[in-house]
Amino acid sequence: MTYAGVWTIAEARDGALRQVSFELLTRGRKLADKRNTTLSSVVLASGISDETVRELIKRGADRVYVVDDPALAHFTAETFSNVLVKLIDTYAPEIIIAAATTSGRTLMPHVSMRTHAGLTADCTDLDIEEGTGNLLQTRPAIGGNILATIKTPEFRPQMSTVRPRSTKPAPVDASRTGEIVRLPFDPALRDGRVRRIGFKANEGEEVDIQSADVVVSGGKGLKKAENFALIRELAEKLGGSIGASRDAVDRAWIGYPHQVGLSGKTVTPKLYVAAGISGAIQHLAGMKTAETIVAINSDPDAQIFRVADYGIVGDLFEVLPLLNERLSREVGSK
Ligand SMILES: Cc1cc2nc3c(=O)[nH]c(=O)nc-3n(C[C@H](O)[C@H](O)[C@H](O)COP(=O)(O)OP(=O)(O)OC[C@H]3O[C@@H](n4cnc5c(N)ncnc54)[C@H](O)[C@@H]3O)c2cc1C
């Protein structure tokens, strides 16, 4: 069988595409160009318009396969997997990338088992190997202390999930054209064993540090939970969200939804402020792609200064009140 083309698995909710779908196009376009092949996106959804789907083309897809049916309104691994496996059997893509979201990380192992293909989870980098054309899938391994690059030379398609926010969304080019292929949903593919009985949002889901333009994070240097008030004040003044290191979360100074890093969330804000955070590799994995990084640490040799654009060597209990006071005056005088 000849496998060709790169696919991204777009994610939709309530008739709208999720931002991660556009991040996957940044990755997918690069891979497709290197392989000199086409880039297609797959949308499994209910009630999604051509106009909505066209955004995938404007952001880099050459073709979009849409399967639109009420049975696909909510994610269920079995039904989504049945539909995707059928598409793979029909069109034989060489590479498939999906988001390392809860649904992506549930769907893709199911698909990989059914297609006997390899899958690398939670990649932070993807590339094409010169000569062989194999997909190079890089992800942190052994507690995040090394970056491992994995290949799947024996099996096709090659499949990866990619960390949300680990790359920027592909930009819109209104002049791009492409094809929308709407395919019928085969009712036989619906897995009747699974029924959706409701949706309960995770408490803390309102903490969306991944969409924030500004994230102000605190670490063990804060010494105790109450001192997060300094972080909260700065975040409020900058119109941002509150992040934290794992040590701060493990000490229950703040909830897990705020954790930034390898076992927390990846953020790419315009501004990231790290106060009392040493800059362990697992923390850096979640924030080093921020546009501007400001670090406040009393240890001039702290690792965080290696990635910081601006470093303040000092006691955060002196620096943060000064910053907050200065911002109060600036904002107050406007
Ligand atoms: C598998 C695995 C996954 C992990 N995932 C994550 C993750 O997702 N996110 C994460 O953050 N960590 C993660 N870690 C933990 C990580 O290795 C570090 O232990 C953690 O990031 C350290 O947190 P910290 O920087 O707050 O604490 P520390 O490393 O103890 O650093 C505290 C810093 O505060 C500074 N400081 C102290 N007092 C002051 C003061 N008064 N003023 C200014 N600075 C001061 C100190 O100089 C020091 O640099 C993970 C570890 C493993 C093994």
Using CA positions, which residue lies closest to atom 47 of ligand 1?
Answer: 299
Contact 279, 260 (CB under 8 A): no
pLDDT higher than 70, residue 206: no
Q: What is the DSSP letter of 188?
A: G
CATH topology of domain 214-332: Rossmann fold (3.40.50)
Question: Can you give the pLDDT at residue 196?
Answer: 86
| Ligand 1 atom closest to Cα of residue 315 | 42
For residue 245, the ligand 1 atom closest to its alpha carbon is 11
> How far is residue 190 CA from its own chain's centroid?
28
Strand order in the sheet with 214-218: 241-244, 214-218, 271-275, 292-297, 310-313
| Cβ-based neighbour number of residue 60 at 10 Å | 26
Q: At residue 27, does pLDDT exceed 70?
A: yes
What's the CATH fold of domain 6-189?
Answer: Rossmann fold (3.40.50)
The confidence score (pLDDT) of residue 163 equals 87
Tens digit of each residue's pLDDT (9 = 90 or more) over 60-105: 999 999 999 999 999 999 999 999 999 999 999 999 999 999 899 9
60 lines ligand 1 (CB under 6 A): no
Q: Are strands 179-183 and 125-128 parallel, antiparallel or unpaired?
A: unpaired
Q: Where are the domains of the chain?
A: 6-189, 214-332
Q: Is the pLDDT of residue 254 over 80?
A: yes
The SS3 assignment for 331 reads helix
Q: Is 309 in the pocket of ligand 1 (CB under 6 A)?
A: no
Dist. CA 327 → ligand 1 center (Å)? 27
- 147 vs 48, more confident: 48
CB of 219 shorter than 6 A to ligand 1: yes
Produce one character per residue of 319-333: b if its CB has 16 or more CB atoms within 10 Å, e if not: bbeebbeeeeeeeee
Of the candidates 298, 296, 320, 316, the residue with the CA atom closest to the CA atom of residue 308: 296
**Beta carbons of 113 and 120 less than 8 angstroms apart:** no
Band the pLDDT of 221: cuts 50, 70, 90: very high
d(CA 276, CA 262): 18
Q: Do domains 6-189 and 214-332 have the same CATH topology?
A: yes
Q: Is the CB of 298 under 6 A from ligand 1?
A: yes
